[in-house]
Structure formats: C-alpha cells, structure tokens
Structure 1
Amino acid sequence: MKMNRSEILFLYDIMDANPNGDPLDENKPRLDEETEINIVTDVRLKRTIRDYLNEFEDEEIFVREKQSSTGEGLQDAKTRALDYLKEENFETFDEAKEALKNQILETCIDVRLFGATIPLDVKIKSKKKTGSITLTGPVQFRMGRSLHKVEIEHIRGTGAFASTDGKTQKTFREEYILPYSLIAFYGAINENAAKTTDMTDDDVEKLLKGIWNGTKNLITRSKFGQTPRLLLQIEYSENNFFIGDLNNKISLKHTIDDKKIRNINQVKLEYNKLKENLSKNKEKINKIRYKIDENFDTTEESQNIIEVIKSLGIQTEEIII
C-alpha cells in the first residue's frame, strides 16, 4: 500500500512540573532566554514514544538503556548493535552491515520510525573491522515550544531521610518547575525515507498512540501532570508536497498575562492562519486525522477545530487510541 507524506501537529500541557530539564543548568526547564518561551527537545518526545511502545505495546526498541552482560553498568552502542548480529562468519564487512541493518529494521520499530546511526565492530576473517550504518528516519520532529511565555519557579522542600545516619536533621531537596506550559510540537513523515527503513502504516498508528498515550502515561515525579490536548495528522495526496511550519500557524487567545496562565480553561486556540493554509491547499490533502481533548477550547463561531476543517470540504477521521 502506498504511503503518503503527512505532517503532525501535537499540543500538550504540563502543570507544576518540569517537561524537559537541562542537565547542564541545574536541570531547570529549558527556556529561550530572549523570548521566555519554554523549549522541549525532540529527543524528549522520542523517548516518550519509545518508552510507551516498549512498555505498553511490547515493541522492541533499539535506543534504550540495557544492562551490560557483565552486570556492571549499561551496554554501549557497539555492544547493543551486536545483540542483533546473530551470525558471526561473514565474508565481507559489507555483508555484516547488511545483515545487521536488515535484522534491526525487522525488529526495532524506533529505527523504522526515527532512524539511527548504528556502530559496528566485528571480525572479518580474523581481522577487526569497524564502521557504522546511518539510517535517516522518516519521522522527524522540531523542538517543541510553548505557545506563551513562562516563568520558572524554584521549589525547596524537606526530604524523607536524615542527612546522615543517626542525625535528626533531614535532607533538603531543590527543584525547578513551570506552573504551566502549553507546548506545540511539529513533525513530518517523509514517504521517501519510509522506503529505506521499511516503515509501515501500522508503525505510524503506533507512533500516534505513542505520542498521545505516552504523554498521558508519564508518571515520573518531574513529568506527572502532562496532558495531551490536540493531535492532528495531515495526510497529503500529492507526492512531496507539504504545508510546513504548522506550529507557527496557531497561537493562544487569553485575557491574562502569559506568565499567569495556570490551566487549559484560561486559554483558547487561535488557528486562522492554519485554516487559511488548509483551505488554500485542500485539493492536495487526502484527509486530516485527529484526536482532541474535550477540555481544550478550539471553538470558532460555535464550531470546534474539527468541525471547521470539515466545513472546508476536507475529509476527517478520528484517531482511535
């Protein structure tokens, strides 16, 4: 079945937590200092997706932490790659690379989706050979950015344990959080790159589930409080065409200062630019698939965003998650 190019727009919010800490800056939430916009890396979103697919969909994931066979520490990338190289007697290094590539693509959904650079270190006719395989992933995301300015809060608290054994004084903990942030991610699925990684339509379905349910199921202390609000997949009928920059075609309406926003009920999505672009290019759009949280206000003249899209004459389909 022919795969079409598509674009993804994903919005989610977080309350009283840290969506993506910077380990080089006291694990503070990432911030664009010029604009005071919260930033979340594409690496963070991909990790969310990988973790969900591994834990809830029982999918094999290449890029994940795995204990070393020695029991001491974690595998490095070369050792991880060798987990998938079952045969040892190869005539040429290229033969070993091809066998490894095929096995990983067959087994690991994250490589089919996001690609990978896979190091290889093997012996060919008693001689050590090293190299790597580079696979460009058909699914790529830009960094996520909040749709409003945010302010970091510094929280200090008391730990549960004494500072040292036998002492009565407890430890102190410090953390940095955002009271609220509504974040938009833009992504694209390239049908040409999908051919090189053997990505399937079923993989795309699991990707969408990973985006929505993975965000919803983050329960670590720093991530708890994240809620998916809107997911759109715009599927095109014309080869190599896409609108682009979907995240820059939406904004928020609110009556209070950006930094005082504390929940989803205080904002409304504004999407006139997106609507104009969809209307202008509707003949090139096959359909728009969607998932929307009922608490997110996207109404325009009593119609929500999906009803507005339908009124443009564009086919819509709810994503079943």
Structure 2
Amino acid sequence: MSQEHKLYHNLISLPTDRRPTDVVAERHELVLLFDATKANPNGDPDTGNMPRLQPDTLKGLVTDVCLKRKIRNIFSLYRPDGTLQDGGPPAAIGSEFAGYEIFIRENAVLRELMEAPRIEEQAKSIFVGELKQDPRSWDAKKRARTGRSRGGAASVPPPEDAPEEAQEASPADEFKKRAYRDALCRSFFDLRAFGGVISTDGPLKGSFYGQIRGPVQFSFAESLDRVLQLDATITRCCVASEKEKKETDSAGAEETGHRTMGRKHVVNYGLYRANVYFSPAFALRTGFTYYDLDNLLFAITHMFTDDAAAGRAGMRVVGLIDFQHATALGNEHAHKLFDLVRISRTSESREREFPSSLCDYEGTAPDGVVRHVSENGQSKSLVVARKLVWEIPECSRTGGTT
C-alpha cells in the first residue's frame, strides 16, 4: 500500500508511533465464540454431511478451514469499508481497496491467477524498484549446466526443453521468485493473512517462496458441551422427468419413494469456541498491516452475515476478545490469556444434558489492562484485552473455566 489509509472500523488499538499502513509489530491472541441454533455449522462429507463431532466426547467441531472460508467470503462480497463489491476489475495498486482479492476461491485456476499480466507487472516493479535488480535479468533464461570433457572441451549444452534439474538458475532467479511472492501477497488478502502453498505450479514452482506461512492461524472450534444432533428427511412434491412421473403414477409416490429428496442434519444448539493466533514475525514476511488487521476483525464479527442457508440459518458471533501484547514476542503465554475467558453452564441448566440456548451459559472476560509493569513509578501496559463482541450473560458468581 503506497498511500496512507484510514481505519474504517477502529477495532484495533493503533500504537501512537504507528500508521495504518505499517506492518503489525505486536503479537495478538483472540478468543472467538459463536453459537449454532438448529443449524449445521460444518458438515462432514465422510458422514453424509452430518455435523462434525469429536468421537470420544460428542462435542461439536468446526474446522479451521471452514472458519477461514467465512472470512474469504466476506471480502469476496464486500470492500474493506463494508460497501458491496461491484464485480469490476481489481482496484488499482495503491488505492485503499487494493489488495483484497481472494486467491482461494471457487473454480479458480491458480496458475492463471499467478501468471496474470498485472501480477507479473507488479512483480517486475518490485524486482527492479525494491530488490534493486537489473531489469534485463528479469527475462534471463536458466543457464544450462555444462561440464568439461577429459580433453578439456566443453560438453554440448542440453536443449531448452531439457528437464528442470538439467538447468542452472540464473543469479537473479531467486529475486524474481521473491518478487512474485511479494506481488501475490500484496494483491490477495487471504495469502497475506492465512498463507498458502503455491509452489506446485506456475512462476513459484518448486520454490521456497511458494510456501507462504501467514500470520493469522485459526484453531478448530469445539462446542463447550455435547451437542444434540437432529435428523430430518425432506421430500419434494414434483418429479424431475416424464419417466419418473410415469413410474410414480404407476406405483404411487408413497410406495416408490421417488419424491424423497434427502436428509437435513443440524445440531439443536451449540456454543463453540476457537482460538486465533497472530504472529508479527510472519506478518513482516507477507506485509500484513494494521489496516488489514482492522478489516480482518471486522470480517470476523460479520463472518455469518451472508452465510445463512436453510441448514445454517441460526449462527452468530457472540464473543470476540482481542489480547494485544506490547511486543512482537509477546508479554504473556497464550494459554494463560485464554484461561481468562471463563464460560460455564448456569446452575439451572446443569440438570439438563444438552444446552438449548445462550441463556444456559454465563461467563466473564477481561476488558482493559491484563498485564503491566512499573517503570520509574509509572505503570506500563504489557497486555491489553478488548471486548469486541460479548453477548454471554455475566456470571452471578465465580465460575469454572471452559
């Protein structure tokens, strides 16, 4: 991002000496809570799309891939300021909406995305302008490996279509691959945030730079209690073809079962919890900025807004706590911060095996300075917690951790 941008959502605490376009330099940990009512949060294709379960505890599961897909879908539909995408060409480099394309999307041909002319143009600009390489070396072909015969004469070089291992990379080849990596990260938000393996084909084939590790990582989400699965058979009142109609009329729809369409699987109610980790070390590699972090948190709070479907209509984010450290390494262990978010069943609901709504829970979470140190008689904040979303009923007493 070449020009200054403003934070649209102000969901982060921007350090006084930082700008929105600066790379995030502090560690973050987040606790994400969402619930599902008469919904299938994440179907398992190996079990006929039934909700995923932990086999030994029968608690519900939602994969990290599923959660990241919700974030990708938000930026596929909306710009960073929350306005609708117009379906036009990608925003110009340097504009406030640039860099929010989605790389892993339905029916995408990844090699075509990587080799798009605009990506090559941006990579070449990075190659020359930032990596200080000779523009003439951009198109330098790999040199054939040559040896010497016993008589000292040079051996015949292999043809240009020789296998890759028979050729030697030009000195600028690594810089070219790095430029491509940086161009892709700047253009595609999901690569910049979550990373990806893009070394299987295209300009980064076989390269270390094609294995991008993103700064944002989600854990699996797990329900706090066992979930009750509901199974419903659905039928249709019409037929798909004239042949099927004749078969139905001859035997009767109730006997043949031709009008049966399938089954729906949902959980009656489940409160799910996931942890989110943010590494500034990997943010430096992909160029993930405070502007990106603010937009990411906005996307998380709206991750189910346009995700509603017949089997997934009752889902919402009910809790999002951001723990912001003062340093890149962090000022407290993540598990100790996660333990500060305490949620438990209410005393009245413990008599029932399965919870039925959010009212069956109560909990507490910190909001403000969590860790501090005194320097020269003044208190310096080391870890600050912020309740970005919190709809859990407050505890009437000290509850256990979940």
The TM-score bracket by the shorter chain reads 0.7 to 0.9
Helix, strand or coil: the match of 1:119?
coil
Identity of aligned residues (%): 24
**Aligned position for 1:309:** none
Partner of 2:120: 86
Matched residues in 1 for 2:353 and 2:110: separation?
Answer: 42
How far apart are residue 130 of structure 1 and its match?
A: 3.4
The count of aligned residue pairs is 282
The structure-2 alpha-carbon separation of the partners of 1:190 and 1:260, relative to structure 1 and needing over 3 Å to count, comes to: same
CA distance, structure 2, for counterparts of residue 78 and residue 122 of structure 1: 5
In 1, the alpha carbon distance for the partners of 2:301 and 2:270 equals 17
Post-superposition offset of 1:97: 1.8
Counterpart of 1:306 in structure 2 is none
What residue is the counterpart of 1:71 in the other structure? none
Instruction: Pick from 131, 135, 139 the counterpart of residue 212 of structure 2.
Output: 135
Number of the residue aligned with 1:43: 65
Give the alignment partner of residue 196 of structure 2, picking from 116, 120, 123.
116
**Which deviates further from its counterpart, 7-16 or 236-245?**
236-245
Structure 1 position 35, deviation (Å): 0.8
Q: What RMSD in Å do the two structures reach over aligned CA positions? A: 2.7
Partner of 1:251: 343
DSSP-derived class of the 2:295 partner: helix
Among residues 156, 176, 187, which one is paired with 1:107 in the alignment? 187
Which stretch of the first structure deviates more once superposed, 99-108 or 47-56? 99-108
* Structure 1 residues 30 and 201, CA gap change in structure 2 (3 angstroms): same
1:53 aligns with 2:75: yes
Write the mapping of 1:131-280 to structure 2, written as runs, cut at 5 A: 131-132=206-207, 133-162=210-239, 164-165=241-242, 167=245, 169=253, 170-241=259-330, 242-245=332-335, 250-254=342-346, 255-256=348-349, 257=351, 259-269=353-363, 271=364
Rg larger in 1 or in 2?
Answer: 2
Q: Could you list the runs of 4 or more consecutive aligned residues of structure 1 that deviate by over 6 angstroms after TM superposition?
A: none
Task: Read off the aligned partner of 2:110 and give its amino acid letter.
Answer: A
SS at match of 2:57: coil
Q: What TM-score, normalized to structure 2?
A: 0.64
- Cα displacement string for residues 261-299 of structure 1 (whole angstroms, at most 9, x for unaligned residues): 221122212x5xx76xx85x44463422222344x3024
**3-state SS of the aligned residue for 1:233?**
strand
- Tell me, in whole angstroms, the C-alpha distance in 2 between the residues paired with 1:285 and 1:223: 40
Q: CA deviation at 1:226?
A: 0.5
- The change in CA–CA distance for 1:299 and 1:45 in structure 2 (over 3 A counts) is same
The 3-state SS of whatever aligns with 1:99 is helix
Maintained 8 Å contact 1:141/1:187? yes
Change (3 A) 1:10 1:153: same
Corresponding position of 1:310: none
Q: Which amino acid aligns with 2:103?
A: F
TM-score scaled by structure 1?
Answer: 0.78
The one-letter code matched in structure 2 to 1:86 is: E
Does residue 142 of structure 2 align to residue 62 of structure 1? no
240-249 or 27-36, which moves further after superposition? 240-249
User: Who is 2:27 aligned against?
Assistant: 5
| SS at 1:215 equivalent | coil
Q: 1:238 to 1:119 in 2, by over 3 A?
A: closer
Aligned to 2:4: none
5+ residue gaps in structure 2? 1-17, 19-23, 80-84, 86-99, 125-137, 141-169, 254-258, 374-380
Amino acid at match of 1:231: L
Alignment of 1:31 with 2:53, yes or no, is: yes
Give the gaps of 5 or more residues in structure 1: 66-73, 124-128, 303-321
Change (3 A) 1:77 1:119: farther
Quote the offset at 1:173 in angstroms: 2.0
Specify the alignment match of 1:290 in structure 2: 387
Question: By how many angstroms is 1:90 displaced?
Answer: 2.9
After superposition, the Cα gap between the structure-2 partners of 1:227 and 1:27, relative to the gap in structure 1 and judged at 3 Å, is same
